A = this chain, B = another copy of it.
Amino acid sequence: MDFFRGDDKRAVEAKEEAQKIAWAPFVFQTAKALKALGILKIVDQAGEEGYTTEQVAHHSNISRYGARVLLEAGLGSHIFYLTSDDKFALSKTGFFILRDEMTNVTMNFVNDVCYQGLYYLQDAIINQKPEGLKVFGEWDTVYEALNDLPPDARESWYAFDHYFSDVAFSEVIPRVLKHKPRMIYDVGGNTGEFTEQIIQADHHVKVTLIDLPGQIRTAKEKLNGQLDNRVYFHPIDLRDQEASFPTGADTIWMSQFLDCFSEEEITSILQRAKGALTDDGNLHIMETFWDRQRFEAGAFSLQQLSLYFTTIANGNSQMYHSKVMINCLHEAGFYVEEDIDQVGIGHTLLTCRKKR
């Protein structure tokens, strides 16, 4: 991945880029307001002919002044372009801000969950705590806060989580089943999505879902009726280094789970996983690593998202470089047997075995 290697900008371009960064919060809030006030949609309807400020003000029912400052700011960030007779038309960038689901899910998450708290990024780094969370109230982590967040923040958080977690498990389940597992631990199994799919895909395998008590309650409700005596539950707080796993799994599954923990915590969790796993068992880890992305925008997004963990979520985890995770695996006594990129939306599947 060579997206970030070398620096081929000319000085004048670099200076422009620095200016763009300096005004970046304006660019973001302009895009957000243009979308929320319906202006992107209105300008889109004008097609390549475009609309004047007056036409946009008329159709959007906002003041001519309000329409003008937003249109002009959006022109600066190339959300619009000027037609040959100086009307405003929607650019391709503007089109994606209007229509692209990923962009919209991200913008809502960034605005409703992160924007205000990000002001405290520097404090979060210094104090090693998610200092931005205080804009919503007094909690240690966002996970404890979720039920009490303002409705728009809660909704945007879940929409973002759902959009990026909605992995095609169907794509990886055959890779897990080819090892003929009999007892799988679904660690950080959350609402039981993976558990449900794998017991349906194999009529003999048993699964123990391991997560916090709250998640276990939700998963039990969801899986109710399909349990079929093959699903077990083990509530546990894995942050507690004394909390051990049950033993006897020949397969351990962790999907988008370890990124919620610090390096030290990851190593500790993996050590305990090792103790629970049979000697010839497999540990499968599915994660999104920024260094394994096909597109620069994918790497960029994950690198930024890390600071949500720093400032809002927990103060000590991130979207990792794969090397960091693989180091933790080695330290905990595993080696990587198989390493497959581009599973789902930019995920990597690491299949690991115990070192002898």
Contacts and interface: CB of A to CB of B under 8 A. Distances in A.
Interface in A87-103: 89, 91-93, 95-97, 100, 102-103
A19 B299 CA distance: 11
Interface in A269-324: 290, 295-297, 299-301, 303-304, 306-310, 316, 318, 321
Contact of A299 (B5, B76, B300, B310): B76
Contacts of A4: 75-76, 78, 80-82
A23 B110 contact: yes
A25 interface: yes
A26 interface: yes
Given A65-B316, A119-B116, A21 B28 contact: yes
Contacts of A153: none
A23 B93 contact: no
Interface stretch (A122-130, A139-147, A194-202, A242-250): A122-130
A262 B65 contact: yes
A117 to B, nearest CB: 10
Contacts of A309: 69
A19 B106 contact: yes
A154 B13 CA distance: 31
A172 interface: no
A70 interface: yes
A307 B30 contact: yes
Contacts of A116: 116, 119
Contact of A33 (B29, B79, B107, B122): B122
Nearest to A72: B303
Contacts of A341: none
In terms of DSSP, what is the predominant structure of the interface of chain A?
A: helix
A106 B23 contact: yes
A81 B119 CA distance: 25
Interface residues of A, number: 92
Contacts of A79: 21
Nearest to A298: B19
Contacts of A19: 102-103, 106, 297, 300-301
Contact of A96 (B15, B82, B93): B15
Contacts of A220: none
A13 B316 CA distance: 33
Contact of A81 (B5, B78, B122): B5
A237 to B, nearest CB: 21
A91 B33 contact: no
A21 B15 contact: no
B310 A95 contact: no
A223 B115 CA distance: 45
A285 to B, nearest CB: 20
Interface of A: 4-7, 9-11, 13-33, 36-37, 62-63, 65-66, 68-70, 72-73, 75-84, 89, 91-93, 95-97, 100, 102-103, 106-107, 110-111, 114-116, 118-119, 121-122, 125-126, 128, 262-263, 290, 295-297, 299-301, 303-304, 306-310, 316, 318, 321
5 contacts: A23-B300, A23-B304, A26-B308, A30-B304, A30-B307
Given A29-B118, A65-B318, A66-B126, 15 more contacts: A5-B82, A6-B82, A14-B96, A17-B93, A21-B77, A22-B28, A22-B110, A25-B28, A25-B110, A26-B307, A29-B121, A68-B318, A69-B309, A70-B307, A73-B303
